[in-house]
Every structure is written in C-alpha cells, then in structure tokens.
Amino acid sequence: MIGRGDNAGKQCGEDMRQLIAGNWKMNGLGATAMAELGALAKHVETTRPACDVLICPSATLIERAARHAKDRFAVGGQDCHAEASGAFTGDVSAEMLRDAGATAVIVGHSERRQFHGETDAIVQAKARAAWRAGLISIICIGETEPQRDAGHAHGVCRSQIEGSVPPGATPQNTAIAYEPVWAIGTGRTPTSPEIAAMHAHIRAGLGAPLRILYGGSVKPSNAKEILALPDVGGALVGGASLKASDFIQIVDACNRSP
C-alpha cells in the first residue's frame, strides 16, 4: 500500500486517491535529505492531504528515509534488478528495496531506457520482480519529441504499455506514469488538452483501472491544473520534489478525495 489514510490502495479510477510521487534521481545526501523529509512528514501529519505521498530517493537513503517517514508517507526505489540475487555488481534487487523499507519502485523511467538501453521486455521483468517482492511497480512510458512531431505519440505509448505491463496488473500492484520525454527537466509541459487526450488514450488501452500519473516538469505553478484533468491519477515529480516547500505545494494541489 502506498501512502497513509483509510483510502490508500482503494480500487482505482475516478474514485481513487491520487498519488504524488517524488523521484529524487541521483540527488540527496543524508543530513540535508532528512531535513527535507522532516518538513514533508510534519506537513503530511498536520494536514492529512487528500492524496497518497511517495518519495523515491537514491538507494543509499531508502532505509533512513523509511525510518523518518513512519506512517506519514511512503518510500520507494528508483529501479530494481529483475533477479532476486546474484552476481550483478552495482544492482539492487526488489527484495533488497523491500528489506530497506520501500513499498514501491519506479521501473522503465525514460532515463533508464535511454542511458541503460532498457527494453520493454526488461521493464516488464522488473515490474514482475517488484510484485514478487511485494512492491508496487510504477511503470513509466512516454514519447520523445521526434516521435510526437511525427504523430506517433499514441502508438509509442500503446506499444510501451503492451510490452512493459505484465498480465495481472491491478490497482494494488501497479501504476502507470506517463512522462513525455521532451518535457522532463526542460520546463516545457504539454497543454492540458494534450495531457488529457494522452491519459484518455492510455486509460482505453489498459485492462485494469490503474492510476495514471503525469510526469514532466510538474511544479507548484501547474500542478493544480494538471491534477484536475480527467484520468490523471497523480503526478511523478522530479526536480520539484527535492525541496519540501515545492513538493508540499504539489501535494496540496490534489483535489480528489473519495
């Protein structure tokens, strides 16, 4: 289960709590990171937001973050290996993430696909590994700028869903994160109609009512508009999740409370 509250993990769709997930990427050192998490934890405990809250720090911080979070927010990993153990130097298994206190893991992020050559088959294997370890898999999909300009965005995302999402995905074990690659870290964001159209397309292609998060330059100034769109089940937040003051504003922009 991600997050806190009586509805965290409720059957998904329009009646499900939104999920705000922070992806810290390769950022954060102990003392500073714990200070930011402390501010977030205090806010969640005080305000009891209408959404589930998840922070995915680097692997070196997961155990400390989980101790800090307690039941106020959830902690996840940014990647996992498909195998439970073995001679895979530098890799981390889903079981290791779970042992450190994680309850979820991001798989198939565009940076993993681009810089580490991850295919849909690899992403699907990692999603299965997450389930095996009792973690929720957040499966990332999204098109590049040339693919969008060529009119292939919907086809690319449909293909990634078909190849990356294992049979048996449910609202309890899987979420989808749509991140247009050209919007990640660029400050550019698709228009609201473009986001709504893509999320509707993704929803139509899924066999289960999974949460569909939007990611790609989500920030305090645009979060409320994005989170109000149909079929947007939350946000996967990059740079704006590193500072509690920014991330809290995005958490507070949630507007769906069953």
Give the dihedral of Cα atoms 116, 121, 123, 126; nearest 10 deg.
Answer: -110
Residue 63's CB: how many other CB atoms inside 10 A? Answer: 15
**Contact partners, residue 42, CB within 8 Å, separation at least 6:** none
**Which residue in the list 68, 109, 111, 199 is annotated as catalytic?**
109
- Among 87, 77, 74, 182, smallest CA distance to 127 is for 77
- Catalytic, 179? Answer yes
**Which residue in the list 43, 143, 179, 199 is annotated as catalytic?**
179
What whole-number distance in Å separates Cα of residue 19 and Cα of residue 201? 20
What whole-number distance in Å separates Cα of residue 85 and Cα of residue 91? 9
Encoded tokens for 51 = 């959404």
| Overall size of the chain counted in residues | 258
Residue with tokens 């499900």: 16
What whole-number distance in Å separates Cα of residue 185 and Cα of residue 190? 13
Encoded tokens for 64 = 């400390």
- 136 beta partners: 104
- Catalytic, 109? Answer yes
How does DSSP assign 17-47, residue by residue?
Answer: -EEEEEE--S---HHHHHHHHHHHHHHHHHH
- Among 27, 94, 78, 49, smallest CA distance to 241 is for 27
- Among 155, 156, 211, smallest CA distance to 181 is for 156
Q: Which residues are catalytic?
A: 109, 179
